[in-house]
Amino acid sequence: MKRLTLLTNPDRCNLRCPLCFLNQRKRPFGMGEMPIEVARAAIERFAGAEIPVQERLREVIPSTMGEPLLYTYFDELLEFCRMRRLPLNLTTNGTFPGKWGTEQGMMRLLDACSDIKVSCMAFDSEIFDEMMPGFSFERWRDNVCRLAGHGRGSVTLQVTLHKNLVAKVPEILAWAESIGIARIKWNLPVFITGGQALRARYGVDATTVRELREFLLPRGRCEGSLFFDGFGGTSCEFFKDEIWILPDGSEEPCPNPERRFGNRNAAGATCGACVLLKPFA
């Protein structure tokens, strides 16, 4: 069973996070929003009755760049998938803009999604203002509490483990457990060409990674790239069963952000030096 990732609105977001690949590349992705007809066609292509059962879609992922809840056609996408009994797997920055921040909106998302992952790049007001500018830590935290407090669906905290957040790991872990978060994904930051200064400021070294693994593994409910093995290898450890569709409808089989958002001619865009497989500072 496959997962379909639609880059629905990579340039459209209400935050300005420094680790975002679009910020690292210092220019827009430039393809605009995905027309709803393109999204529908991609889903039909991989979810049709003629597709072998083992290869049919199991869920649809709207946008891994930008804020998917700002996608102009998100309502239509949600309904199109509901009619085909295909759940969405949603990653959101936690701002829940417009109607999605209401109780009714959150309930609708919980019912329609196999999982809702909320991005976490800070756990106090000072770091939040730096890492997720454009919103407030208090409102973000309240949104996550309300979402998890419904006691239905799957809610995941997706933590970007940059250098300035490492000290907050025990606090994040305790808070997530206290509000009923189902799991936590601990992901290391990834840097593309042009992000050297960001790597120096936010990158995590191999020693810290080993210490974090030792601390978190016994606690359970912890996943993410922090625990991936084989870094520096030549075989892709990521997204083996995923299909990626760009806003213009073209298919991109490689998940390497250097290829998609950075410099396709850079060493980091190759399998042997993939930036996803070499995350350490």
Structure-model confidence comparison of residues 147 and 26, the more confident one: 147
Domain borders along the chain are: 2-269
pLDDT digits (tens, 9 = 90+) for 185-238: 999 999 988 778 898 999 999 899 999 999 998 887 888 888 876 544 445 655
Using CA atoms, how far residue 161 sits from 90, 172, 184, 203, 226, in Å, is 20, 11, 12, 9, 8
pLDDT at 239 over 60: no
pTM of the model: 0.91
pLDDT given for residue 235 in this prediction: 55
Fold of the domain built from segment(s) 2-269:
TIM Barrel (3.20.20)
Q: How far is CA 221 from CA 76, 142, 183, 280, in A?
A: 33, 22, 5, 23
- What number is the average pLDDT over the span 118-144? 97
